[in-house]
Amino acid sequence: MHYPAVVDVVWNLQLMANGVRIRVLSLYRRILRTGQSWEAENPEETEAEKLFIRSEAREVFRANKHLLDAEKILEHLTEGETRLEMALHYKTPYPRPVNMPPNTITKAWGSANLRRQHTSRPVYIKSLDTPS
């Protein structure tokens, strides 16, 4: 018996997986190339920043190599692309500090307060929160 809908779904998943794989590898190569050609604002720190870029990329990509959920992979891709663009724009490879909205850090650690803190976290900092 032939199930064309099932075959189409499997085929689409394979195509999507290949497209996502290409994007992941492309981002990884872009980060490594950036790490090779990086020049710090302070020339004395160039080698340390190059090393940070390469080691951070290696660490984060290896920590997330087990992900299978396409939505999670796309979230991490967005984070990686954002971090790369911010590093190039601000000329610093280190994560930027996060400013929390008013009234999110108070004595009352209720669920609403924790929810506000969680939703206010920018996309470029999420990999620093959890090991996934």
What is the predicted pLDDT for the residue at 50?
97
Q: pLDDT, tens digit, for every residue of 1-21?
A: 444 444 444 445 565 677 888
pTM of the model: 0.73
Q: Where are the domains of the chain?
A: 4-96
pLDDT at 53 over 70: yes
Is residue 75 exposed (0-12), middle (13-18) or buried (19+ Cβ within 10 Å)?
Answer: middle
Tokens of 76: 């991490």
Tokens of 41: 């604002």
Identify the band that residue 67 occupies on the pLDDT scale cut at 50, 70 and 90: confident
5 against 124, higher pLDDT? 124
Query: Rounded distance, CA 40 to CA 105, Å?
Result: 34
Which helix (H) or strand (E) element contains residue 98? none
What is the predicted pLDDT for the residue at 60?
92
Identify the band that residue 107 occupies on the pLDDT scale cut at 50, 70 and 90: low
pLDDT at 95 over 70: yes
What is the predicted pLDDT for the residue at 21?
86
What is the predicted pLDDT for the residue at 111?
74
What is the predicted pLDDT for the residue at 19?
84
